[in-house]
Structures are given as C-alpha cells and as structure tokens.
Amino acid sequence: MAAKKTLVALLAGFGVAGFAGAALASPIDYFTSNGPATGATVDGFNGQDLSTGEQSVLNVGGGTLTLNDAQVVQGTTGNYAAPWAVGTNHADTSKYISVYGGGTATFTLNPKGAGAEYIGLEWGSVDAYNSITFESESAIYNSHDKVIGYNYTPIETLTGSQILADADGNQGVNGTVYANFTSSSPIYRVIFSSTSNSFEFDKLAFDVNPVPLPGGLPLFVSALLGIGAAGWWRSRRMDRAA
C-alpha cells in the first residue's frame, strides 16, 4: 500500500491531473482533464427537448439514456445547478441532465457492439451522494442457443467524493470536473444515481478504446515500478544478510 501511495504522489508531483485520487488497483481507473478523450463520441444533449418527461428514453450517441426521475434541463433552479463549463470562467449555458434524489439516468450501449472502455462526462457541482455504477453484460440464451436477452453485472460503483475531495455541491469553478473513466473490461451500461437533488452532468462521452496516458508516462511509470522493485529486492537481501 505504501508503494502505491508513493507512486500516486510522484505522478501527482509531475502534474498528471487526477492521479492523486486515482484508484490504480481498481477495475475502473479515473482521472480529471479539460475535456473528453480525442476521438470519443460525445453527446451534449442540445438536440433534446426541454419538455422531455422525467420518465423517458433518449437516443444518445451509440446507445440510449433512460431517465427515471431525471430530466433534460437548462440553467439553474432550486433543484439543480448548471455545471461550470470546464476551462472557462462561466457556467455552462447548454442543456444537460439532472438526476433528482432517488432517481437514475441509465446509459446503455448497443449490447451487440464492442462495449466501451472509456466513459467521460462533465460532472457539475459534484456531491458525495452522487454515484456512478459501471456494468458489464452477458447474453441470455434459450434452449436453441438463441439470444433472448442480456444480464448486467456491476463492475464498480464510484461516488462523488472519490472523484473530488471536496464533493460538497460547489456550484462554482471548483465544483465541476471533467471526469474520465477507463476499464480493461468492456462497459455496456452506466447508471448515474443520486440520493438527493441533484446529479448534474453534460457532454457524455464514450469510446471503445481506453484513453492513453499522456505521452511518455507509460515509460515513466514502468521506470518507477522498476525502481520500486529494485529497492524491495535490495531490502530483502539486506534482511537476509542481517
């Protein structure tokens, strides 16, 4: 555990945004950035109707977004607040999704497709009671080996406080992050939920390819791990000699 903390601290020291809070041994790796991954499919919900009900199914990018006590909204009211436009000095003026207390917004990719290994979103006024669940899928077959449906199995659930240390609903520039999530296992369903008003997000992105680390970082990480292994081996030899 100490070695992992040291690696995270070194990565953070070299200016790799988000790695200070990243779960390196987690099924889902996460970090923050100034926007979605290059090449990812992004939906900003601007083509959606503001009159969309709280129980609706939207066509989004390469899948569907099922709203359950959630809604396409714009601006700020007593129940929701527009995300801060990441990298700017003003709130986002476009449409976005607000998930109310007890509600969910479920993003489901085409079950016959490749699945996503990258998910990104502009997460506004991050709260500790906001959560995201990532799920894999498996086909259900009948006695004639015909697919009749799909089962979804949770890979991991992450909360707002894991993404942002001060997840207290700050509606200003320090309360919004562009959160990126990568997985070695294909993601077929993502559930955005909140136990209180509200979970606000915009610019939902996905890609079948994971986000690469910044240029040169893989070699840097390998070197750090190599140094750590060498140190551990020397320590072992010294202990035996003693």
Distance of alpha carbon 57 from alpha carbon 55, whole angstroms: 7
Q: What is the pLDDT of residue 16?
A: 44
- Please check the confidence at residue 20 and state whether its pLDDT lies above 50: no
pLDDT in tens, 60-82: 988 999 999 999 999 999 999 99
Query: 238 has which bridge partners?
Result: none
* Cβ atoms 105, 196 nearer than 8 A: no
Q: What is the pLDDT of residue 111?
A: 83
Secondary structure element (H or E) that encloses residue 227, with its range: helix 217-241
Domains detected in the chain: 27-211 (2.60.120)
pLDDT in tens, 158-180: 999 999 999 999 999 999 999 99
- Please check the confidence at residue 11 and state whether its pLDDT lies above 50: no
- Please check the confidence at residue 218 and state whether its pLDDT lies above 90: no
pLDDT in tens, 100-141: 999 999 999 988 888 999 999 999 999 999 999 999 999 999
Secondary structure element (H or E) that encloses residue 160, with its range: helix 160-163
What is the rounded average pLDDT for all residues in the chain?
83
Tokens standing for residue 85: 């436009």
Residue 168: count other Cβ atoms within 10 Å of its Cβ. Answer: 14
Secondary structure element (H or E) that encloses residue 4, with its range: helix 2-13
pTM beyond 0.85: the answer is no
- Please check the confidence at residue 55 and state whether its pLDDT lies above 70: yes
Tokens standing for residue 236: 């072992």
* Cβ atoms 119, 88 nearer than 8 A: no
- Please check the confidence at residue 231 and state whether its pLDDT lies above 50: yes
- Please check the confidence at residue 2 and state whether its pLDDT lies above 70: no
How long a stretch of residues is the chain? 242
- Please check the confidence at residue 83 and state whether its pLDDT lies above 80: yes
Residue 210's pLDDT band (boundaries 50, 70, 90)? low
Tell me the one-letter amino acid at 34.
Answer: N
CA 93 to chain centre: 22
- Please check the confidence at residue 8 and state whether its pLDDT lies above 70: no
Residue 227: count other Cβ atoms within 10 Å of its Cβ. Answer: 12
